[in-house]
Structure 1
Amino acid sequence: MTDAALPTAPAVAGRSLWATALRRLMRNRAAMVSLVVLALYTLAGIVGPMVWPHDYATVYSNYVKVPASLTPYPRANTIVPGAERALARARVEVDTVDVAGETVTLGLTASREIDPRITRYLDRSDLFSNARIVETGDDGRSAVMEADIARLTFVFGTDSNGRDLAARILVSIRISLMIGALATGVALIIGVLYGATAGFLGGRIDGVMMRIVDVLYSLPFIFFVILLVVFFGRNVVLMFIAVGAVEWLDMARIVRGQTLSLRRREFVRAAEGLGVGPAAILRRHIIPNVLGPVIIFMTLLVPKVILLESFLSFLGLGVQEPLTSLGVLISEGARNMRNAPSMLIFPSLALTILLFALNFLGDGLRDALDPKDR
């Protein structure tokens, strides 16, 4: 039998290290659940404020610190007092108030002719809408007014200013995720380039560059924050770009350590022997091979930056009104936790779930990318 007659085995396609890491990550249930949670958070932060029925900055003065409820407001026992209170400054007497379904009917009398523009007093109230005069007496001093009852639902309640807490949590998720991604991106770019350059060049250049990092480590962080607020004001984007420019120190040290171990590897020495320049070696060989630890550190840096923003907002140095973040909401909820506990509970739960998801995803990536566990 000749060699041509022998059956040939089908070629088996190999898997790259990244494909293997992805398969290992998908088998980690906690990491996959965390990934789904983060996707839902991202969707809620981007789309939620646009589709939610309440705007995060709209103030409902008649609903200050109302508790969370799935039943629409106003309650039945507040409709009549609310109508009387709305017309208290209109110089009319409210003789009768009848509530039928979603309509309230008021019998009015006055010592002089009733102005038809009196309907504005009810329209300005959060309890009523579409107020109109349906009947007027012959002398103009009596009238019958009708108005529709405005039904509003606050699933998480309202804050101390009467703003919908759910809408504010949605926009705070957007702000917190934006700040975390923005500051982490800045730290990633500066830290990877700085650490890879210091580790690859080595010698005196490495010593000088890392001494600069040590000096920056020794300075108190709150000092940086005060300087950033002085120079950038209340511009949250610029301020947290600068915060990311401070948070790159840990990233630089991690990348430098990985680069020191990689620069002695055979493929790097082979590239040097072929005449490849230092910049090309960094771009093609060093940086791609340190992405595993960098990705893991990124998942841990994002919650760190979010907690930092919450801390700064709690002190009044972060996000300012009318925008809000989870730190701002928690700070406000802590001041009102006795008479309005929902103001503290719901933002705290939102932040806790977000931080748990980020940390579980980081643990899953660490396990998937760990070469010793393959």
Structure 2
Amino acid sequence: MSVSDTTAPVPAAGEGRSLWQDAWRRLRRNKAAVLSALVLAVVILAAVFGPYVVPHAYDTVYSNYVRTPASLEPYPRADAIEPEIRAALRRARVDIASIAVADGVATVEVTSEREIDPRVTRYLERSDLFTNGAVQRLSDDRRSATLTADVQQFHFYLGTDGNGRDMLARILVATRVSLAIGILATAVALVIGVTYGAVAGYFGGKVDDVMMRIVDVLYSLPFIFFVIMLVVFFGRNFVLMFIAVGAIEWLDMARIVRGQTLALKRREFVQAAEALGVENAGILKRHIIPNTLGPVVIYMTLMVPRVIILESFLSFLGLGVQEPLTSLGVLIAEGARNIEGATWLLVYPAITLALVLFALNFLGDGLRDALDPKDR
């Protein structure tokens, strides 16, 4: 007699989660870090695509709108159009009988003791406020005429600077430059620091002593003098900034990775790879460096705001990017010089910089908590 198999199948064990999966789940529960990531995403998108959307270029000068306050209403205001028309026609040797403005078109009645040249409209077009000047009516004796011109209206939502350039466009470009310098300098520090620290920590001994003494010597060099020397020899430019900053910031990264490597090289999986005959380069590439990425990612998010602040400080001293290109440090320096008469030149760039720095720091704190192995 056969006995039927009534044994129930053993349920499969739940799948394990890797360190990165577990860190991602805990990071999503950190509302401050998630909100900071969203803010950073919005800021980056605005910095990348914003200059192509705003109506003004960051380097376009509007001489009639120097230090114009921020406003949602278009410029020029209605009460400013008539004085601009009178100023434009002052050299035309005509008498203005009346001025009317409607639907963005200015209509001017003029008279003169002698014949009026139809080219009188060129005086209006010399102004940045008026275009498409035309003579709509000219009397038989050519001593009175009706002139029309389109009034150019501009929106300056964050005002203009001391040269008449749109602050919104300049802040977007400045944010792009500052973020690019922060990210590129951090990338340079990441490549140099991780490689240098991993090699020093893994080989140890005299190799480690020599490599870390080089780091100590570089630490002793005054950074500001190093930047001044680069500026003297190569001039101020965008590439120089992130090379100079990244060439110094990698020192901290190297020390962090070296400390992690000293602990990792004694782990069983590294010793097993050595016993199997894996080359040193393969061990560093497959076992050492990947296991140091947790602290490295955290440090990267904290390094970017440090680099941005450092770039802002150098730009404040006049060692940053050159005009007409700008950065948040350049705008803040300009705003500080004009704070008494034009506070918006300082307030808006400072708010932008503070927003970026707060978001990066909160995101760094969230990544630190999510990747801390003691909290798993």
Equivalent residues of 2:241, 2:311 under 8 A apart: no
Separation of aligned partners in 2, 1:10 and 1:315:
64
Shift of residue 110, structure 1, vs aligned partner:
4.1
Give how far 1:117 is off.
3.4
Q: For the residues of structure 2 that align with 1:118 and 1:321, how far apart are their CA atoms?
A: 37
User: For residues 116 and 202 of structure 2, what CA distance do their matches in structure 1 show?
Assistant: 86
Alignment of 1:295-314 (within 5 A): 295-314=297-316
Count the aligned residue pairs: 374
Counterpart of 1:180? 182
1:152–1:364 CA distance, 2 compared to 1 (3 A) = same
Question: Secondary structure of the residue that 2:242 maps to in structure 1?
Answer: helix
Secondary structure at the counterpart of residue 5 of structure 1: coil
Q: Note if contact 1:228-1:239 (Cα within 8 Å) is conserved in structure 2.
A: no
The aligned amino acid for 2:137 is E
Moved more, 357-366 or 91-100: 91-100
Residue 121 of structure 1 aligns to which amino acid in structure 2?
A: Y
The RMSD of aligned alpha carbons is 1.6
Match of 2:56 in 1: 54
Residue among 340, 343, 352 paired with 2:342: 340
Pairwise CA distance, 1:307: 0.7
Structure 1 equivalent of residue 27 of structure 2? 25
Could you say what secondary structure the match of 2:90 adopts? Answer: coil
Q: Does residue 1:127 correspond to 2:155, yes or no?
A: no
TM-score (norm 1): 0.96
1:37 aligns with 2:68: no
Deviation at 1:11, TM superposition (A): 4.2
- For 2:12, the aligned partner's letter is P
Any idea what the Cα deviations from partners look like across 1:205-233, whole Å, max 9, x if unmatched?
10010011101111111111111112321
Output the amino acid matched with 1:51.
V
Q: 1:232 to 1:240 in 2, by over 3 A?
A: farther
* Contact 1:98/1:104 (8 A) holds in 2: yes
Per mean C-alpha deviation after superposition, the further-off stretch among 190-199 and 121-130 is 121-130
Unaligned runs of 5+ in 1: none
In structure 2, how many angstroms separate the alpha carbons of the residues matched to 1:328 and 1:259? 40
TM-score by length of 2: 0.95
Instruction: Please tell me whether the aligned partners of residues 271 and 281 of structure 1 are also in contact (alpha carbons under 8 angstroms).
Output: yes
2:225 partner letter: F
- Work out the CA distance in 2 between the residues paired with 1:228 and 1:243: 11
Identity of aligned residues (%): 67
Q: Is the 8 A contact 1:232 1:239 kept in 2?
A: no
What does the per-residue CA deviation read over 1:142-162, in whole Å, with 9 as the maximum and x for residues that have no partner? 321111222211111111111
Letter in 1 for 2:317: L
Distance 1:105 1:262, change over 3 A: same
> In structure 1, what is the equivalent of residue 283 of structure 2?
281
Task: Give the distance between the partners of 2:5 and 2:329, measured in 1 at CA.
Answer: 73
- The answer to whether the 8 Å contact 1:229/1:239 transfers is no
Provide the residue aligned with 1:322 in structure 2: 324
Residues 69-88 of structure 1 correspond to what in structure 2 (within 5 A)?
A: 69-88=71-90
Structure-2 change in CA distance of 1:194 and 1:104 (3 Å): same
Does residue 111 of structure 2 align to residue 109 of structure 1? yes
Instruction: Specify which of 129, 132, 138 is matched with residue 136 of structure 1.
Output: 138
Contact 1:300–1:362 (8 Å) recurs in 2? yes
Alpha-carbon separation, structure 2, partners of 1:196 and 1:250: 13
Instruction: Classify 1:44/1:144 alpha carbon distance in 2 versus 1 (closer, same or farther; 3 Å).
Output: same
**2-side partners of 1:365 and 1:104: how far apart?**
59
2:64 match: secondary structure? coil
CA contact (8 A) 1:188 1:251 kept: yes
| 1:339-358 mapped onto 2 (5 Å cutoff) | 339-358=341-360
Query: Aligned partners of 1:117, 1:263: CA distance in 2, in Å?
Result: 85
